A and B are shown apart, each in its own frame.
Chain A
Amino acid sequence: MLTAFILILAIVVFFADFRGMNRQSTVNKEIVFSSSLLGIGVILGVLQLFQVPLPSLMTVIEYVFRPISDWMTVMLK
């Protein structure tokens, strides 16, 4: 619920920014990249609202680095 509010809020604020960008007719790149990043954010947010489990980077990190950590713990006992 709250996430939905924040998403809407972010889109609204971004819109204000967007108008500024459009007005100055600046580089297309800026508009493209910032909108696509916003799109990624909104999609992730909506996924989260629908309780879709998003992949977390930490599980990968934990998996890869756990052997090193265990080895160091044994070494430093």
Chain B
Amino acid sequence: MTSTMLNACMRFIALFTAALLMTLTLSGCWNRRELNDMAVAIAIGIDRVDEQYEVTIQTVDPSQMSNNRNVDRFPTRIYSEKASTIFEALRKVTSKSSRKIYLAHLLLLLFNEEMARDGIKEPLDFLFRDHEVRPDFNIAVTRGYQTKDVLSIVTPLEVLSALDLYRSLNVSQKLWAPTAAVNINEMMVMLTNDGVEPILTGLTLIGDLNKGLSADNVKQPRPYLYFKFKGIGVFRKDRLVGWLNEPDSKSFSYVNNHVSSTVGSVQCPGSKKRFAIELVKSKVSREPSIRNGSPHMKLIVHVSGNVGEVQCETEINDKSIIELQELASEQLKSIIENSIQHVQSQYGVDIYGFGANFHQKYPKQWRQWRTNWNEQFAQMSIEVQMDYHLRLIGKIISPFGNNPQQKKE
């Protein structure tokens, strides 16, 4: 009797000890992170300063985002540190901030133009490698300003400027073609794939920088300083070589099928006025081929659009709409052809990914071409074929106030 009780006792003690040891050591206390020990970073800017990286971090102050906020304190905080690696700079920030930077909510990564010209694959390595960093933020290059300044501005629409920039980039990629929201995933693919060269959108500020850094910027309807995404930057390997102007950037978006909706204007037949088309569907299919041993690319542009704004004097009927369609088609074709020629002659860098198309269709030839593909690209012949359709014309048929040319009897 007693021995069984003793046995039960021993079992209990053994199990209790085991459970105690387990809870003390295995409950995952190593990786706990209290919310008030984290500074959530929503944007990072990397500048090149004297051979080092100057990393600027925009963090959120969560208590200032709630309803009872202190109007004098601003919701975002900017920290800046210089070091020779990005990782060191982020840790150095703790000497200024009471919290450790938490990178999982990153929205935006900005590079200084000088940094971009120096090569971006080194600073990107930390962001590729770290486990906290997620692949859903966008990358851009600032033109003419340090990222430190760009991240410090007060933006008109959102309280968090990184959120404003991120949303604007995504929205403008969809609705106004000359920008490209490149996220880090696509960057990885562009860097490893040898048939494509990377691109990044440019970001610039317009207005008075000093006034834009304070809350005065948004105290009246017209801000003193606002940001603008402008141009697409062309990279060779991982270094910036130049910027595309607006028509070239737009046609880049067309060729790469980034456009989901955009607006363009065309000159009216017979007058200097213009009419605007809203493009609702755009798809460019590529047909690589080989002519006389050198690569040739045929682009077939399928575009479907609606007439959005007519300033012309003409009536809109089924004959005139064909005329408008022809004009729009010709204009788009020449924009695309000219811009590809610009890229070929000015930069000689295959940003469209034609190399990847040739790799997929002609692997044997690709093996010979891949070492100097950019030279091949620069001399490649391009053919553009249009398949343009104008379908809808909106609520009214002909512009109001036009003198009727002919009255139907």
Show the binding face of A for B, using Cβ within 8 Å. 2, 5-6, 8-9, 12-13, 15-16, 19
Contact = CB atoms under 8 A, between A and B. Distances in A.
Interface string B4-32: 00010011001101100110110000000
B21 A13 contact: no
Q: Is the interface of B mostly helix, strand, loop or mixed?
A: helix
Main secondary structure of the interface of A (DSSP, over half): helix
B25 A12 contact: no
Contacts of B10: 16, 19
Contact of B22 (A9, A15, A19): A9
Contacts of B22: 9
B7 A12 contact: no
A8 to B, nearest CB: 7
Contacts of B15: 16
A15 B14 contact: yes
Nearest to B24: A5
5 contacts: A8-B21, A9-B17, A16-B10, A16-B14, A19-B10
Contact of A5 (B7, B11, B25): B25
Contacts, number: 22
B11 A12 contact: no
Interface size class of B (residues with CB under 8 A): 10 to 19
Interface of B: 7, 10-11, 14-15, 17-18, 21-22, 24-25
Nearest to B30: A2
Contacts of B17: 9, 12
Contacts of A9: 17-18, 21-22
A12 B18 CA distance: 7
Contacts of B7: 19
A57 B91 CA distance: 39
Given A9-B18, A9-B21, A16-B14, 12 more contacts: A5-B24, A5-B25, A6-B25, A8-B21, A9-B17, A12-B14, A12-B17, A13-B14, A15-B14, A16-B10, A19-B7, A19-B10
A13 B22 CA distance: 12
Contacts of A13: 14, 18
